[in-house]
Structure 1
């Protein structure tokens, strides 16, 4: 970022210098170059060359390899992951869909540690503004409706911005002090089946600093900001999620069936078992599914007109920062060249 800011300032410096010289020589002095103009050209050129030298140093500084301390920290987190059965697998794209990754947004994950059905790390989502998250995601035995827990301690990001207020559900006890639960319409009873008192207690004890999203057959814990995975406390926080919170969610997932799906109603299941027994075959295991109304919360998407205005504004800003000074610098330079 510093390199780009420097390039922009350098370009505007050239623009101002040559425009001032061009106006003075071409307009005020009727295309006549005096000794003071030669002096100013020499001085400003010397400043320009010195600035170019500093720019080259800044470029080399920005491209320098990580420091020894940074390398040690990276090695420590990698060795810790390998010792606990996780492989380091950074990626330049979002590994799954969630409110954290946002639809259509580009994302990069580093570091990212992976084991079968499990991953965690730091995710950087591009956009305006750029967002960074620390996260942990675990595959579940079966899908659940789209539930989102907005943590009181983890707020500071944009989750779950746009979720309609009618999807809020209040739970018993003081759970609402720690989390705001969002559920799809008509899935309030299903949420009570999933969020039992023992799971709510585990969430408050071990996950209160995380937002929690149950989406498809995955549970995602995430919070704003990066995590330093060379720190022992970060690993213990991840371990607490995997050891004490995830098993309870997985147990609810394995037992849950969405009876809004016709093939998963009690009557349909009894009929399927009866037909299988009549044919002398074992009943086929039911593949759990979620009704389309429960797969995703209703989230207000950003207005397309506002997105278009933002894109046009960004383009015009780049034109103003780079193209405009370049054109004026060239015009001023040509005015000086035409002088006598």
Structure 2
């Protein structure tokens, strides 16, 4: 009972802090944010620039993450939660994967009968993040879309290099599909993820694109990492906060240390063969993100291959804005992502 009370108190405190931060006028953040140059016609708000600068050192670490560093990221995620109150029931459990068992969470809206299932894979450069740390994101999506959300952990790099994360996420997704009937799921099944999680979601959808038992009805990718060849994209060198090219390179080195694996479509799906079999795909990109151009290029490749694909760019948004729900602008953009996924799900079940 004590851990539950402590968790409730922590969530209450985080929501109170989020409310206070969200109510503060953006103008008040300008002295803290410092210089906010306009890059490629885009400029972050003072509040988002401040959040990005706080987050940047965690992502720019030159040494592999310690448990303390991972703990700090979890706390930052709690403080960035939406101030909204959601009526969502959460059930914690574990799922068996090739690496053993990993934690998972099932989110179920209580206000209305949920439609479908969204399997969510968290971001964090394959070396940070967890289902617990993404509680605010999963709760937000579950409530806004009115769907069950299954969020899962996977083994993290560099302790567990490629393809460990892919194999765990694949096993977790298959588990969710197999449990759908027991969870009374009615409607389409979506696989989604952000950043590194978007990388894994795209890879899983591609791997199962011709499997009638597991093929997802929709793929939803939020500022995903999809191509190891950063030199191909102007955005790789345009932006530095909170994610820089150097931090992306280090994340690649930790997750995929063997160069020959970097062309594997389970890691770099851009340019992969036979993407015409991919399910309908929705891609959200952040206007001020080193990964922006590769997400948009993949959308173009899908369209050229005849795959129903939608690319939606959110101008002036930084990488990671889905985890900055305390900010009104990021919350509005995230709400538009939720609306787009919801619309796709309704169309899929029509």
TM-score strictly above 0.5: no
Output the TM-score relative to the length of structure 1.
0.29
- Larger RCO of the pair (alpha carbons < 8 Å, separation 6+): 1
Output the TM-score relative to the length of structure 2.
0.28
